[in-house]
Amino acid sequence: MASDLFGIPADQISGSSSPETIEAWDSVQHLNLVLALEERFNLQLSPEEIEQMKNVRDIANLVESKLQATPS
């Protein structure tokens, strides 16, 4: 997903990738990332949670904890 949105190959994205290390990761793409996550995993992210999304690892952990909290 991040590879699609930021236009870079998946093998160049790691857990520590963040807006500081990826040039295309600006505020518009951050919003697109939030929308893509909500759509793909069918969840809602609160303003506080979006605030926590500082790098790819944080995002993965956040999504995982939310998916476990809401049995589908």
Partner 1 sequence: MSSQDKALDLRGEVDRLISAGMPRATALRLHELWRQESGPASAAFLISRYEKLRDKLSLLSYRLAILRSFTVEPVVPLLRAAAFCSGIDLRIHVGDFNAYAQEILDQEGQLYSFSPDAVILAVRTADVAPELWQDFASLSSNEIGDAVRRVSSSFQQWIRAFRHHSQAALIVQSLEQPPRPSFGVLDNMSETSQSGVIEQINQELRRAANGYRGVYVLNYDALVARHGRLRWQDDRKWLMARLPIAAYQLIHLSSEWLRFLVPLTGKTAKALVVDLDNTLWGGVIGEDGVTGIKLSAEYPGVAYQEVQRALLDLTRKGILLAVCSRNNPDEAIEVLEKHSGMLLRPKHFAAMRISWNDKVQGLREIAAELNIGIESLAFLDDNPFEREQVRATLPEVTVIDLPGDPLQYAAAIRDHPAFERLSLSAEDQQRTAFYAEQRERAQAEQNFQSKEDFYRFLDQEAEISPVTAATLARISQLTQKTNQFNVTTRRYGEQQIAELAAQQGSQVLSIRVRDRFGDHGLVGVAITRDRDEACEIDSFLLSCRVIGRTVETALLAHLAESAARRGCKQLIGWFLPTKKNAPASDFYRQHGFELAKQNGDGSLWSLDLTQRKIASPEWIKVSMMNGGHD
Q: Does 36 bind partner 1 (CB under 8 A)?
A: yes
Cα dist from 14 to 23, 40, 45, 62, 66, whole Å: 14, 20, 22, 16, 21
The size of the chain, in residues, is 72
Q: Does 18 bind partner 1 (CB under 8 A)?
A: no
Q: How far is the CB of 68 from partner 1 (least distance, A)?
A: 19
**Gap between the Cα atoms of 6 and 26, Å rounded:** 9
Q: Does 60 bind partner 1 (CB under 8 A)?
A: no
Residue numbers at the binding site for partner 1 (CB under 8 A): 1, 4-7, 28, 31-36, 38-40, 44, 46-47, 50
